Structure 1
Amino acid sequence: MTSTPGTPPSSLPLGLPTGSVAEAVLRVARDSQSTSILNHSVRSFLFAQLVAEREGALNDAAYDRDLLFAATVMHDLGAGDLAHGAARFEVEGADLAAAVLTEQGVGAADVDRVWEAIALHTSPGIAERRGLLAYLTREGVGIDFGRRAELVADRAKEIHDAYPRLAMVRTLTDAIVTRAARSAAAAPAFSFAAELLRQRRENGITDLERGAAGCAWGE
């Protein structure tokens, strides 16, 4: 393994949480999404954990591994089969995730933290200021798109071998655009989904997909 110069190699175990809540989270993600998007969501969790380790947040009172798992693994439910384009995909996904956690008996305050982290995961400059869970969720997702890749370089191959990419960028873009095209509510002006839909219609490809070619991980 290689690590960023000056950064000690990570020794963090990369298994997934267990228990009834984690099982419900993984089940809904697996049953409603493609394997490509599911793998992206799990990688986002693993990368988010590594960010927490690198930045000394594992012992922070606000750090909750189970809630981080819930937020990252369900962050794209709004682009899956359970979503119908009733709202922008981040919000519809947050609502779906909240319903799963509520059904599992998770407290309202924790459900709200996960809802916020999912709803804000495409909102740069906002998620980072809404607490550790929202910050780590956005960072984990961002790393899977190649942002700050050097932070996890020593564990990236291990994670990608376990959860292959499978053309994730194109697959996820397809799913978001498909739902954005269903209603104005799913693609309000200036939203992330609306911009992807506009680019696809005008150019046949989005900047997100173009960027994948230069991403540290590829598509």
Structure 2
Amino acid sequence: MEASVPTANTPSLPESVLNHIPDTTISKTALSLAYTNLPLPIFHHSLRVFFLAKHLITVENTPTSHYLRHPDLDLLFIACIFHDMGACNLHNGPQRFEVEGADAASLHLHSHGISSEKRHQVWTAIALHTSPGIAERISPLARIVRQAVLMDFGAPLRDVFGADGYCQEIEVALPRLDVEKCLGDVVVGQAVKVPGKAPAVSWPNALLKAHLRDPEWEGVNPEFFGEEKPGRGL
């Protein structure tokens, strides 16, 4: 695949990826913000989540299909591309990284005139994407984003939706680049400096506790996948 020529607003990505980004100002600027500010492994992960979210919606053939069409495709894209935006320095505020990312997405949507109801859909999907059992039930968009995140980290959903081949295909265009270690290290690094970013019984808190138990550990954080085996999802 031939890589695109980067410009001030266009990441250097294969055309096969760029051609799937919604051709709207709100999504193109979101893509640029993510590319400029996120570590590359997390940026690639966020784009893969978007591709997988679209795949899930297509396979399900449920009422969530409106997220595949304009204007709601923008909501889906921004929920995915911003879901880990709290892991970048620009949005490293006092709240846990999920909330910081949700707030950043809401501000971006607001700056483009998106209604409060639609902003709330995206905010909820991002804020709860590491909250099992809640994200899956609170809204259709939150469920799709949560499931796409799990699928990118190798959850059984790959088998359920027959997506192993598709996941391998998008990982050629958007390499993983050890995203599990990168994301875990970023979340822990934030929490070490500001413990309030890792409240009790949260995914950041589990990562922080694992780090404090063995601060010399150099691999993927042992709690990255929670109680699941590595490769089986958060």
TM-score (norm 2): 0.80
| Aligned ranges 1:124-203 → 2 under 5 Å | 124-147=132-155, 148-150=157-159, 151=161, 152-203=163-214
Q: Provide the aligned C-alpha RMSD in A.
A: 2.3
**1:46-77 CA-partner distances (Å, limit 9, x unpaired):** 01111111111366457632211110110001
| Aligned ranges 1:44-55 → 2 under 5 Å | 44-55=49-60
| Cα distance in 2 between the residues matched to 1:178 and 1:82 | 15
Range moving further from structure 2, 59-68 or 177-186: 59-68
**Which structure has more RCO (C-alpha within 8 Å, separation ≥ 6)?**
1
- Residues 85 and 182 in structure 1, CA contact (< 8 A), matched pair in contact too: no
Q: Describe the shift of the 1:56–1:192 C-alpha distance in structure 2 as closer, same or farther (beyond 3 A).
A: same
**Corresponding position of 1:41:** 46
Count of aligned residue pairs for this structure pair:
204
| The one of 79, 82, 87 aligned to 2:87 | 79
Q: CA deviation at 1:83?
A: 2.5
The answer to whether residue 53 in structure 2 is matched with residue 28 in structure 1 is: no
Moved over 6 A (4+): 209-213
**Corresponding position of 1:17:** 22
TM-score (norm 1): 0.85
Amino acid in structure 2 at the alignment position of 1:186: K
**1:135-164 CA-partner distances (Å, limit 9, x unpaired):** 101011110111112221231222111110
| Cα distance in 1 between the residues matched to 2:54 and 2:106 | 21
Stretches of structure 1 lacking an aligned partner (at least 5 in a row):
1-13
**1:152-198 CA-partner distances (Å, limit 9, x unpaired):** 12312221111100011000111111111222321111211111011
**Corresponding position of 1:207:** 223
Q: Describe the shift of the 1:106–1:194 C-alpha distance in structure 2 as closer, same or farther (beyond 3 A).
A: same
Q: Secondary structure at the match of 1:31?
A: helix
| The one of 61, 65, 69 aligned to 2:73 | 65
